[in-house]
Amino acid sequence: DYERITTLGQRLADGLERLFRQHELPWQAFRLGPRSGYCLEATLPRNGEQAARSMDTDFIDARRVYCANRGVWDAVLSAGPQVSLVHTAADIDRYLDVAGEFLAEVVA
């Protein structure tokens, strides 16, 4: 099961990076097995100070509310989505659809 959710985590990170490129954002999606998320910098952080710069609490709060209002749970407050043992590829695709809609609204 861990291998399956790690593969879904890669699908999630790849999808987020596609969205960032689509919206011309210089951001990265980090990859940690079934976890991925938004790094609001051009390079992934290497320490806590850099990680703090790569986060924006207003952006996180807005994203989480936007997702929740569309029936999608954005699990980790400080980072973003987490694939669970019950998630499917369709769940990941749904998250990415909602994330794309959110980015279209906030970067327009």
Write down the pLDDT at residue 79.
63
pLDDT tens digits, the chain, 108 residues: what are they?
999 999 999 999 999 999 999 999 999 998 999 999 899 999 999 998 998 888 899 999 999 999 999 999 887 777 678 899 999 999 999 999 999 999 999 987
Among the listed residues 79, 72, 74, the one whose alpha carbon sits nearest the alpha carbon of residue 94: 72
Among the listed residues 85, 81, 84, 105, the one whose alpha carbon sits nearest the alpha carbon of residue 15: 81
Q: Which element (helix H / strand E) includes 79? A: none
Write down the pLDDT at residue 87.
94
CA distance linking residue 64 with residue 25, whole number of Å? 19
Going by C-beta distance under 8 Å and a sequence separation of 6 or more, which residues neighbour residue 92?
8, 11, 12, 15, 83
Predicted TM-score of the model (pTM): 0.92
